[in-house]
């Protein structure tokens, strides 16, 4: 079994130093076999040594302080003069040298000896033997001269002059690490180049010299490196922390010293990871990663799987300050890895001792009697003292035992009740069967073919058993309780293993039951549970069958009968033993989890609202998962899973993320050969945390684990926007020039509120500015409208039909309101800014939802604007698609949009000045409801044509273009097998130089490809399945595997995936490969772009329900890495995405429409596949925005 891991703060009183700019190292400086700590005080030009006590504790004040020459940035430890005492090397950044302090055996040191590195500004050091002479050498990262330096040691404390190796122009190397990367038994060097955002690898020649640098993309501002064999292939891999990218990247090594980028793991926006360390922290023989955050007071812990991949981060708080550097070792000789952190702005170092996970106490056992062979446990308050008690079933002793709890987690000795000779009770649970408000007990008696009822007296005692036959040879194995006929009386369902049936006993409310009604089950039913799986307010039954590998569901009819069953496959050889239900993804729909004894995993089936379920997702357990229960163990409001692993003698805990996915299990031993069977949960010590009890079959006892999980979340800070008003739109900018982001809120009372940031993330009371109208402000945007380098504000005033400006003074205050009318009953709902006529002045455009127009205001200087230009969309409902192209061959971008409400498309011809000519309307047919458009030359006449997809009319219609930007009547294509079209794109799929068309069929669970004849006619359509119940939505076309053949990507809304169809170049496609977007994510819109500059098309998708965008980086062969997600905010509803270089930094950015919050979010790309800065633009309430990116005024 795997030992879990916990970090416990050892520093109740912080170890103090006087300066926050810290570097840190470990070593035994006084030869007492205890690790000591050395830490720099950079601004004070000194180092402090804290001598360890051997138990993980250190003195509060330094034992020794040493003066350095100037600004010590990095320290390294080794015996440089071969006297068996540790010495210290320090990189003195400002004096451009390396200082050496030679140690004595008592923890003191000589004065500093200097070796110049030139005008290099040394930043980082590493100590190793680079020339195989058994003498320590030093490698240094020189930030000022863009190189690494190597100083070869002579073994007597002296060194040769520095040899330098270039890291490239403006590379600014920040960190250095050493390992044998190409398995030639010679040490190599890797360096983090913060200036050029890459990792440089120098392969060693074994004589102290190195090959030229080979670089690998790292991320934004790489500042720390660590190495280890993450996938257990005997080759060194690299992890790099990217400070500005807020992530770590894994590079897996090959035998020849070449690396492959494996995955990126987010550390959270604003984390600015500063230092990374690698160790096996949880003793599972797999390397893990721990990362210090310089942006907040957290540590990221990534548990390794041993295959080069890692779990999502777990966060640890360091209580105060932010971490600058982290080192790891065993400080207290307990074989667990501990960590030491330099805490930057708190001027301290912090020690965290590692050890086994203490989220549960050690196991406490209570005897159930000799040779009891305890099978099952259940929980309830049997003596009405508001303290939970336990009942268990003993298979060999033919009895049940009641343990009364004292409320502190302790239990009295067993009170025993016979179930009858040869009864072999297998399962027990509790309920009130006679409506006397006292809990009773029901037990499944396997040996005597009956169920037994023990009626409770309310004081912890019970009457003798009353039995109900389950039939000859029935061998009842488990029972469950529920009101199956909605008469408010508890009924019983029993799994009859011997007769392949389930039995229903309807309760009469007085403790008696009707005769059993049975339902035949295919297989051997071994466990049963209940829940309303199809949301019809009637309880249904879930049964798992041994040797049948299935989960069966019977739906209740409200009268205690059951009909219509469905089957869910648990997998070949799975042998499911136990089942439980709960809402794992927060969609108010019950999901199912089964313990698959035969395949050693838990299977999760996420439910739909009609009683059907998605295919099983499995999570590994240890051997022999016997029983599973559901509860919120860590009080994060998400359901977790607890499983009894019979074969490996432990219980496993899988913490839930709340989206239907779970962490890898953490295990807790139940003792050698204990063979845990049944498991149950409850709060046994009244601390508001769930505890666990488990039936220990071979220990003839029950076990208790008391839980003390803690929530990692703080209470949110709330700022008022006024007495009554509701803020309808927000924007962020630095209004007072203090380099802090401030907030502006547009309220529904006609005021805007300014919240100035106090630099610690808090905001004092707001300052209000009136627009002069007591009406709802629907949108707000920020820009410099009068070219004074100060931010100004524009708001859309929906009910008063105007746009209002406030010119900023640069100190957080603003001038009086200036307004511009948008027209009578226009209803401006969204406003955005940009330079639409290329005059280097910001203009603004607003959308009016009452008169279905767009208003453009051009800026003519001094903060004033020309009269508006109005463009009608000729529709009273929003369009969800747009096509761009030069329709009249004047080199100016034109626009086409579908109008669903009046069954037309609108063409707007551009004039090149950010404006458009009057719209031209084209009918798509009465009641057709066009939902998507695309543009291409379908008849090879060099003129752009339009294809429109409709919901109710033709599937697609082709509008052939004329030379003047007008279009012919549509050529319709209708297929009775094609319906509910939701997406559309074009491409040449069979390489015949003729454009083809692909559409998505939402309820057809497929895509259709129409092949063009080159004359505007399409002859053949071919269907490709996207999977049952997939509901494909968005579709895009690109070459994803670099074979010069077009491929197709589709967003499968209800399969929670992106599907890839790789094209063969002849019009045929591979079967769909899918990539998960996360359970219950509901992906809608998707598009593509090269986000990491590797000449491979990557994909971004808008995940509506999980409120994030997902980025899939391309491996180059048509496969993709695991999704990296970027949150879009609570109740945001991301819907459509577009890509473009929005800030002119030559890196692709992402724009996403947030349909529920009526916002447009821009994620700015770093060029390495990560996105670390987001800007939000309000589009106004109920605007239902769509997004497409192109240049309108080239």
d(Cα 1000, Cα 250) in Å, to the nearest integer?
36
In the chain, the percentage of residues whose pLDDT exceeds 70 is 81
Q: Any idea what the CATH number is for the domain that residue 935 is in?
A: 2.40.128
pLDDT at 867: 46
For the ranges 192-196, 264-268, 820-824, which has the lowest average pLDDT? 820-824
Strands 883-885 and 288-293: unpaired
Q: 311 in a domain, yes or no?
A: no
Residues 809 and 930 in one domain: no
1059: its two tokens: 């599907």
Question: Residues 630, 580: contact at Cβ < 8 Å?
Answer: yes
Q: What share of the chain is helix, strand, coil (3-state, %, to 5)?
A: 0, 45, 55
pLDDT at 1172: 67
Cα angle for residues 797, 798, 799 (degrees, 5° grid): 105
pLDDT at 358: 45
d(Cα 396, Cα 210) in Å, to the nearest integer?
72
Q: 392 in a domain, yes or no?
A: no
14: its two tokens: 């912080």
Residues 738 and 795 in one domain: yes
Query: For residue 924, is pLDDT > 90?
Result: no
Out of 870, 893, 915, a domain closes at: 870
Higher pLDDT, 546 or 373: 373
Tokens 């003993």 sit on residue: 394
Query: For residue 955, is pLDDT > 80?
Result: no
Residues 854 and 889 in one domain: no
Residues 864 and 943 in one domain: no
d(Cα 626, Cα 696) in Å, to the nearest integer?
12
743: its two tokens: 């907030």
**The dihedral sign for the CA sequence 405, 411, 414, 420:** positive
Note the pTM of the prediction, 2 decimals. Answer: 0.42
pLDDT at 20: 35
Reported confidence tier of residue 510, pLDDT bands at 50, 70, 90: very high
Mean pLDDT score, 452-478:
96
Q: Any idea what the CATH number is for the domain that residue 819 is in?
A: 2.130.10.10
Question: Residues 1148, 1091: contact at Cβ < 8 Å?
Answer: yes
Residues 750 and 857 in one domain: yes
Residues 959 and 837 in one domain: no
Closest by Cα among 1053, 1042, 1172 to 221: 1172
d(Cα 323, Cα 267) in Å, to the nearest integer?
14
pLDDT at 81: 93
292: its two tokens: 């210090």
Mean pLDDT score, 190-197:
94
Question: Residues 449, 443: contact at Cβ < 8 Å?
Answer: no
Residues 855 and 898 in one domain: no
Reported confidence tier of residue 502, pLDDT bands at 50, 70, 90: very high
Query: For residue 862, is pLDDT > 50?
Result: no
Reported confidence tier of residue 311, pLDDT bands at 50, 70, 90: confident
Find all residues with CB under 8 Å of 927, minimum gap 6, and list them. Answer: 903, 952, 953
d(Cα 226, Cα 240) in Å, to the nearest integer?
7
DSSP string, 153-217: B-SSS-BPPPEEEE--TT--EEEEEEE-SSSSSS-EEEEEETTTTEEEEE-B-SSS-BPPPEEEE
Reported confidence tier of residue 1194, pLDDT bands at 50, 70, 90: very low
Closest by Cα among 797, 695, 784 to 369: 695
| Other beta carbons within 10 Å of 158 | 13
Question: Residues 444, 481: contact at Cβ < 8 Å?
Answer: no
75: its two tokens: 């320290």
d(Cα 179, Cα 163) in Å, to the nearest integer?
19
d(Cα 968, Cα 958) in Å, to the nearest integer?
9
Residues 839 and 901 in one domain: no
Number of domains in the chain: 2
- Greatest mean pLDDT among 373-377, 495-499, 765-769, 1136-1140: 495-499
297: its two tokens: 């007071």
Query: For residue 508, is pLDDT > 70?
Result: yes
Q: 611 in a domain, yes or no?
A: no
Question: Residues 520, 509: contact at Cβ < 8 Å?
Answer: no
687: its two tokens: 């601390």
d(Cα 654, Cα 642) in Å, to the nearest integer?
7
Q: Based on the number of CB atoms within 10 Å of its own CB, is 464 exposed (0-12), middle (13-18) or buried (19 or more)?
A: exposed
pLDDT at 393: 94
Residues 924 and 866 in one domain: no
Query: For residue 605, is pLDDT > 90?
Result: yes
Query: For residue 949, is pLDDT > 80?
Result: yes
Find all residues with CB under 8 Å of 942, minimum gap 6, and list them. Answer: none
Question: Residues 676, 649: contact at Cβ < 8 Å?
Answer: yes
User: What CA–CA distances, in Å, run from 275 to 125, 267, 289, 330, 1122?
Assistant: 14, 12, 11, 18, 24
Find all residues with CB under 8 Å of 767, minimum gap 6, and list them. Answer: 753, 754, 756, 812, 813
Q: Name all contacts of 53-56 with Cβ < 8 Å and 24+ positions apart.
A: 54/332, 54/333, 55/332, 56/10, 56/331, 56/332, 56/338, 56/351, 56/353
- Write b or e for each residue in 479-489: b if 16 or more Cβ atoms lie within 10 A of its Cβ, otherwise e: bbbbbbbeeeb
Describe the strand order of the beta sheet including 777-783 as a list of residue ranges: 777-783, 792-797, 802-806, 818-821
Question: Residues 1127, 1107: contact at Cβ < 8 Å?
Answer: yes
Higher pLDDT, 165 or 69: 165
Q: 713 in a domain, yes or no?
A: no
Higher pLDDT, 299 or 748: 299
- Write b or e for each residue in 307-338: b if 16 or more Cβ atoms lie within 10 A of its Cβ, otherwise e: ebebeebbbbebeebbbbbbbbebbbeeebbb
d(Cα 936, Cα 1099) in Å, to the nearest integer?
22
**pLDDT digit string, tens, across residues 1172-1185:** 667 665 544 444 44
For the ranges 211-215, 347-351, 523-527, 1156-1160, which has the lowest average pLDDT? 347-351
**pLDDT digit string, tens, across residues 343-366:** 654 345 667 777 655 455 567 888
Q: 632 in a domain, yes or no?
A: no
Q: 921 in a domain, yes or no?
A: yes
Q: 768 in a domain, yes or no?
A: yes
pLDDT at 580: 96
**Residue numbers of the domain that contains 855:** 727-870
Higher pLDDT, 604 or 719: 604
Cα angle for residues 1132, 1138, 1144 (degrees, 5° grid): 110
- Greatest mean pLDDT among 254-263, 484-493, 736-745: 484-493
Q: 894 in a domain, yes or no?
A: yes
**The dihedral sign for the CA sequence 973, 974, 975, 979:** positive
Out of 819, 852, 870, a domain closes at: 870
Find all residues with CB under 8 Å of 424, minimum gap 6, and list them. Answer: 395, 396, 398, 445, 446, 447, 448
Reported confidence tier of residue 231, pLDDT bands at 50, 70, 90: very high
Mean pLDDT score, 1032-1037:
91
Out of 829, 854, 870, a domain closes at: 870
Higher pLDDT, 101 or 892: 101
d(Cα 1070, Cα 1045) in Å, to the nearest integer?
12
Closest by Cα among 1109, 1120, 1171 to 1142: 1171
Residues 735 and 751 in one domain: yes
In the chain, the percentage of residues whose pLDDT exceeds 90 is 39
Query: For residue 608, is pLDDT > 60?
Result: yes
pLDDT at 1016: 85
Reported confidence tier of residue 371, pLDDT bands at 50, 70, 90: confident
For the ranges 218-227, 358-367, 975-984, which has the lowest average pLDDT? 358-367
DSSP string, 986-1018: EE-SSSSSS-EEEEEETTTTEEEEEEE-SSS-E
Q: Which helix (H) or strand (E) holds 818?
A: strand 818-821
d(Cα 331, Cα 38) in Å, to the nearest integer?
13
Mean pLDDT score, 377-392:
94
pLDDT at 80: 94
Closest by Cα among 1090, 1169, 1083 to 1128: 1083
Higher pLDDT, 919 or 484: 484
- Write b or e for each residue in 205-225: b if 16 or more Cβ atoms lie within 10 A of its Cβ, otherwise e: eeebebeebbbbbbbbbbbbb
* Average pLDDT of every residue of the chain: 82
Cα angle for residues 546, 551, 555 (degrees, 5° grid): 130
Mean pLDDT score, 131-154:
94
**pLDDT digit string, tens, across residues 667-719:** 888 887 888 998 999 888 888 888 898 988 888 888 888 876 443 222 223 33
Residues 766 and 892 in one domain: no
Residues 866 and 891 in one domain: no
User: What CA–CA distances, in Å, run from 178 to 32, 139, 150, 190, 255?
Assistant: 28, 9, 12, 6, 16
pLDDT at 180: 95
Reported confidence tier of residue 437, pLDDT bands at 50, 70, 90: very high
Reported confidence tier of residue 748, pLDDT bands at 50, 70, 90: low
């Amino acid at each position: 079994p795997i030992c879990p891991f916990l970090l416990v703060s050892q520093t109740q009183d912080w170890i103090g130093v006087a300066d926050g700019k810290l570097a840190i190292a470990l070593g035994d400086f006084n030869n007492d076999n205890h690790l000591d700590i050395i830490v720099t005080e950079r601004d004070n030009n000194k180092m402090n040594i804290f001598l360890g006590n051997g138990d993980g504790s250190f003195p509060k004040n330094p034992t020794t302080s040493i003066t350095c020459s100037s600004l010590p940035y990095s320290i390294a430890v080794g015996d440089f003069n071969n006297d068996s005492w540790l010495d210290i090397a320090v990189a003195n950044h400002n004096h451009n040298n390396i200082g050496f302090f030679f140690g004595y055996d008592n923890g003191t040191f000589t004065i500093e000896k200097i070796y110049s590195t030139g005008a290099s500004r040394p930043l980082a050091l590493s100590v190793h033997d680079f020339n195989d002479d058994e003498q320590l050498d030093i490698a240094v990262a020189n930030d000022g001269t863009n190189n690494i330096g190597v100083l070869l040691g002579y073994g007597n404390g002296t060194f040769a002059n520095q040899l330098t190796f270039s890291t490239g122009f403006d590379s600014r190397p920040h960190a250095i690490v050493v390992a044998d990367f190409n398995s030639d038994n010679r040490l190599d060097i890797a360096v983090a180049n913060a200036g050029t955002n890459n990792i440089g690898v120098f392969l060693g020649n074994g004589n102290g010299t190195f090959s030229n640098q080979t670089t690998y993309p790292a991320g934004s501002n790489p500042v720390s490196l660590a190495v280890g064999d993450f996938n257990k292939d005997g080759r060194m891999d690299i992890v790099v922390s990217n400070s500005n990218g807020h992530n770590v990247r894994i590079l897996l090594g090959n035998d020849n010293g070449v690396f492959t980028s494996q995955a990126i793991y987010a550390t959270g926006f604003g984390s600015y990871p500063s230092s990374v360390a690698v160790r096996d922290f949880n003793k599972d023989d797999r390397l893990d990663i721990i990362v210090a955050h310089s942006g907040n007071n957290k540590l990221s812990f990534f548990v390794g799987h041993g295959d080069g991949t890692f779990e999502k981060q777990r966060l640890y708080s360091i209580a105060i300050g932010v971490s600058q550097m982290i080192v790891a070792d065993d400080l207290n000789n307990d074989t667990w890895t501990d960590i030491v952190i330099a805490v930057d702005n708190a001027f301290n170092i912090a020690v965290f001792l590692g050890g086994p996970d203490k989220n549960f106490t050690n196991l406490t056992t209570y005897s159930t009697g000799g040779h009891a062979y305890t099978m099952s446990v259940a929980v309830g308050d049997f003596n009405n003292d508001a303290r939970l008690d336990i009942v268990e079933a003993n298979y060999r002793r033919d009895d049940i035992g009641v343990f009364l709890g004292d409320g502190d987690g302790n239990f009295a000795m067993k009170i025993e009740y016979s179930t009858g000779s040869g009864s072999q009770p297998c399962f027990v649970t509790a309920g009130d069967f006679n409506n006397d408000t006292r809990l009773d007990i029901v037990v499944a008696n396997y040996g005597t073919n009956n169920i037994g009822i023990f009626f409770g007296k309310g004081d912890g005692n019970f009457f003798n058993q009353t039995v109900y036959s389950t039939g000859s040879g029935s061998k009842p194995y488990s029972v469950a309780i529920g009101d199956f006929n909605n008469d408010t009386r508890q009924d019983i369902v029993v799994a009859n293993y011997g007769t392949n049936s389930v039995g229903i006993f309807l309760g009469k409310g007085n403790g008696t039951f009707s005769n059993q009604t049975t339902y035949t089950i295919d297989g051997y039913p071994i466990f049963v549970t209940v829940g309303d799986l199809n949301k019809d307010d009637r309880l249904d039954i879930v049964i798992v069958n041994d040797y049948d590998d299935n989960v069966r569901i019977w739906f209740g009819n409200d009268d205690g009968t059951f009909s219509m069953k469905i089957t869910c496959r648990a997998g070949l050889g799975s042998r499911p033993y136990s089942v439980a239900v709960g809402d794992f993804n927060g969609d108010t729909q019950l999901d199912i989890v089964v313990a698959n004894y035969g395949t050693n995993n838990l299977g999760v089936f996420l439910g739909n609202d009609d009683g059907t379920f998605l295919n099983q997702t499995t999570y590994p357990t240890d051997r022999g998962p016997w029983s599973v229960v559901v509860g919120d163990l860590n009080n994060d409001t998400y359901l977790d899973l607890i499983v009894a692993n019979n074969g490996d003698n432990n219980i496993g805990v899988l913490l839930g993320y709340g989206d239907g996915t779970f962490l890898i299990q953490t295990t807790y031993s139940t003792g050698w050969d204990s063979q845990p069977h049944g498991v149950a949960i409850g709060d046994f010590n009244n601390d508001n945390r769930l505890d666990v009890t488990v039936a220990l079959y071979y220990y003839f006892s029950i076990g208790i684990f008391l839980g003390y999980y803690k929530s990692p979340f703080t209470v949110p800070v709330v700022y008022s926007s006024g007495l009554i008003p509701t803020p309808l739109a927000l924007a962020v900018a630095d209004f007072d020039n203090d380099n802090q982001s401030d907030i502006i809120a547009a309220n529904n009372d006609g005021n805007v509120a300014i919240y100035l940031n106090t630099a610690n993330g808090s905001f004092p009371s707001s300052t209000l500015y009136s627009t002069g109208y007591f009406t709802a402000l629907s949108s707000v945007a920020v820009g410099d409208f009068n070219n004074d380098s100060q931010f100004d504000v524009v708001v859309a005033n929906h009910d008063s039909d105007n746009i209002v400006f406030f010119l900023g003074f640069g100190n957080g205050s603003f001038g009086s309101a200036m307004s511009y009318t948008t027209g009578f009953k226009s209803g401006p709902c969204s406003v955005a800014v940009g330079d639409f006529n290329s005059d280097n002045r910001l203009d603004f455009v607003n959308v009016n939802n009452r008169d279905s127009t767009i208003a453009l205001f051009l800026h003519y200087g001094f903060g004033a604007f020309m009269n508006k230009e109005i463009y009608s969309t000729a529709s009273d409902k929003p369009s969800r698609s747009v096509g761009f192209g030069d329709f009249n061959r004047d080199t100016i971008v034109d626009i086409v949009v579908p109008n669903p409400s009046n069954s037309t498309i609108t063409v707007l011809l551009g004039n090149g000045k950010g404006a458009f000519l009057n719209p031209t309307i084209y009918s798509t047919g009465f009641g057709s409801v066009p939902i998507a458009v695309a543009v291409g030359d379908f008849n090879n006449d060099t003129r752009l044509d339009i294809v429109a997809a409709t919901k109710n009319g033709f599937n697609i219609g082709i509008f052939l273009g004329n030379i003047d930007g007008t279009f012919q009547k549509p050529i319709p294509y209708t297929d009775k097998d094609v319906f509910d079209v939701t997406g559309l794109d074009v491409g040449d799929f069979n390489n015949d130089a003729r454009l083809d068309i692909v559409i998505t069929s939402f309820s057809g669970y497929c895509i259709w490809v129409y092949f063009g004849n080159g004359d505007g006619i399409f002859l053949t359509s071919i269907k490709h399945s996207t999977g049952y119940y997939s509901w494909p939505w968005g579709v895009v076309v690109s070459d994803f595997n670099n074979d010069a053949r077009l491929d197709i990507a589709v967003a499968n809304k209800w399969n929670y995936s992106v599907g890839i169809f790789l094209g063969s170049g002849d019009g045929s496609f591979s079967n769909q490969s899918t990539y998960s977007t996360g359970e219950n994510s509901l992906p809608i819109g998707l598009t593509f772009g090269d986000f990491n500059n590797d000449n491979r098309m990557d994909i971004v998708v808008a995940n509506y329900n999980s409120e994030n965008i997902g980025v899939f980086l391309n491996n180059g062969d048509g496969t993709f890495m695991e999704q990296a997600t970027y949150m879009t905010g609570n109740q945001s509803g991301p819907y459509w995405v577009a890509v473009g270089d929005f800030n002119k930094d030559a890196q692709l950015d992402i724009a996403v429409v947030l349909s529920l919050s009526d916002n447009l979010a821009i994620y700015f790309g770093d060029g390495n596949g990560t996105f670390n800065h987001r800007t939000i633009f309000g589009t106004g309430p109920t605007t239902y925005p769509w997004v497409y990116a192109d240049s309108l005024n080239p």
